[in-house]
Chains A and B, each alone.
Chain A
Amino acid sequence: MQRSRAITNRGKDEIIVHGPYGEVSVGNFIARAAKLATQLPDCRYVINLATDRYHFILGFCAAIIAGRCTLLPPNRLQHTVQQVAGEYVDCISLGEDSIDGVERFEIDFDSLAIAGSEAAIPKISLQQLCAIVFTSGSTGTPTPNHKYWETLRAGTLGNVELLLQNVSDQVNLLATVPPQHMWGLETSVLIPLFCNVAVCHRTPLLPMDIANALESLPEPRILVSSPAHLDAFFASDVAELKLDMILSATAPMSEKLAKNLEQHFDARVVEVFGCSEAGIIAKRSTAVEEPWQLSRSFAVEVNDDGTIIRAPHLPEEVILHDIIELIDEGHFRWRGRHQDMVNIAGKRGSLADLNLRLQAIPGVVDGVIFMPSADSKRLAALVVAPTLAPSDIVAQLRLDIEAAFLPRPIYKVPKLPRQETGKLTRKAIVDLFARTKRSRTTKDGDSADN
C-alpha cells in the first residue's frame, strides 16, 4: 500500500516566505505551487537553478506536487548542468539563466498571483522520488543521492526537533548558502514546510548585503551560513543587530569565531555536522562544547571499515569519511577526516585522486597537492615540471578538477623530498613548502630593492 503525507504540516495563515513582493502565507504559497504544478511541461526531471529562494521553493514544491523529480547539480556552471542533463535527458530547467541544450521553463508569476489561498494541501507518496542531490567530489563527475519524500519529510522533522525545539512564534530565516546545496535545501527550503519559519527570498554573500537582508527581517532571526561567509561578515563589522541563532555548516568552525559571533550578535551559534548523503546528523554549541549531539533519527556504528550512519528514513546506510569516537549513544567526538579526504567550501575531494590528475599532466615529472595547514582555505602544490609554468599546470588541472580544489599557490621545485621507498611524509612536504615560500618572498624583496 502506498502511504502518503501532506507536503506541509503548517497552518494556512502562517507566513512561509518573505518574497520579493512581500510576505506569502502557507495557504497562498501552496495554491501557487499547485497551479504551477499543472503548468509544468511534460518531463520527468526539473533542474532547478533559481537563485531567488522564493522561486526555488515554488518550483521545488510544484515539481513534487506534479510528481517530477528535481535535479540539483553541485553548481550552476554550464558544463556541470549539461553533464547532469546529458544523463537525465527528459528534463527541463527552471531559473534565471538558460543552459545551452536544456529546455528552460519560464514561470509566469502573473498567472499564479490569482490563485487565492484555499487550495487543499496536497499529499505526497512517501515512496515518491522528489530530488536527486549531486555531490561533485574533486573530479567534477557528479554523484547522485536519491531523496524520496519519506527521506526529506522524516529528515526535516528530525532536523526541526534537533535545531528548532520550542519554536512557537514565527522565526525569520536568512540563508547565505544556495538552496541547491543539501545544507541550504534542508534549512531554507524544507524546514519552512514543517516549522513556523518564514524564509527570506534573498541569498546575500557580501557582508553589507547580509546586514541589509537581516535588517529587512523582523525578529527573531536565524542566519544560516558557512564559516567562510560568517568570518567575513564578522570581520567587516557592518551589522549592529540581534540574531537569535546562527547555524553554520559545510566546514569546521573555530571556537574563536563561534565565541566572537555569539558575543557580537547576542546569538546562539550552533554548528551542524552532516553530509549530502545523510543530511544533518548532529549539532554542537561550538563556543562552549566540543562533543557533537547526535540527532535522534540516526544511529552511528564505528567499526574497522569506518563510520556508518543509519536511519529509518535513509534508503541505504551511509559511510562517513570521518573518524569518530563515540562517547555514548547520543554523543561523539570528531577526530579528523580520513587522511585522504579534504573538504573545501562544502565540497569533498580525495587528495589521492587530485594527485593522480596532477601527475598525469604531460610535462609534470612529479608533484603533490596538499593542505598546507589545518586552517588553510585552499590547497597548495609542489611540482617538478622543468618545461611548464604554474599557469600551464593550473590550465590543465582546470579541465577536470572542480575550481575549489585548484591548488594555490603552485611552487615549482627541483625535486620532491621522497624517501627511498618513494613515500612522501607530510612533514617533508610542509617543510619544503615553507622553505620555498620564504625564499620566494626574499627574492621578491631583492628585486624590489634593485
Chain B
Amino acid sequence: MQPQSEHELELAELIVESLNLEDISAADIQPEEQLLGDGVGLDSIDALELALAVTQKYAVQLRADDANIQEVFGSLRSLSAYIDANSS
C-alpha cells in the first residue's frame, strides 16, 4: 500500500466526512484507488456532493469539460493533484 501524502489524507477526510462514508476511514482510501464505480464505490451523485465540498474547502471549481467525469475524479491522487494545480 502506498502512503497518502498530507494533502491526500486531508482530501480523504473531506470525502469520508462530506459523503458520510461511515464504513470507510480516511486512511483506508488507497491513493491510486478508483473513486467512482469499482474501488471506493462512489457514484455520480456522490461526485456532485464532493465537488461542492471541494469548492467550499479549497475554493476550487471542478471541471470535466467534455472529458468523462471519471477522469477528473479518478483517484485520491489525481483529484488532489487537480486541486493543488487549480487553487490560488
Which A residues are closer than 8 A to B by beta carbons? 51, 77, 202, 204-209, 212, 228-229, 232, 235-236, 238, 345, 377, 389-391, 394, 398, 403-404, 406, 408-411, 440
Contact = CB atoms under 8 A, between A and B. Distances in A.
Given A404-B43, A410-B23, 19 more contacts: A51-B68, A205-B69, A206-B61, A206-B62, A207-B51, A208-B62, A209-B63, A229-B48, A235-B52, A236-B51, A236-B61, A345-B45, A377-B45, A391-B24, A406-B41, A408-B22, A408-B23, A409-B23, A440-B22
B81 interface: no
Contacts of B18: none
B64 interface: yes
B61 A238 contact: yes
Contacts of B49: 232
Interface in B33-88: 37, 41, 43-45, 47-49, 51-52, 55, 61-66, 68-69, 72
A205 B61 contact: no
Contact of B52 (A202, A232, A411): A232
Contacts, number: 68
Query: Closest 4 CB pairs between A and B?
Result: A409-B22, A232-B48, A390-B23, A208-B61
B60 to A, nearest CB: 10
Interface residues on B, range: 20 to 34
Contacts of B52: 207, 232, 235-236
Nearest to A440: B22
A206 B64 contact: yes
A406 B38 CA distance: 13
Interface of B: 20-24, 37, 41, 43-45, 47-49, 51-52, 55, 61-66, 68-69, 72
Contacts of B65: 209, 212
A382 to B, nearest CB: 13
A51 B44 CA distance: 15
A10 to B, nearest CB: 27
10 contacts: A205-B64, A205-B69, A206-B61, A206-B72, A207-B61, A208-B62, A228-B45, A236-B55, A389-B23, A403-B41
B20 A205 contact: no
A398 B41 CA distance: 10
A408 B48 CA distance: 17
A232 B51 contact: yes
A208 B51 CA distance: 10
Contacts of A408: 20-23
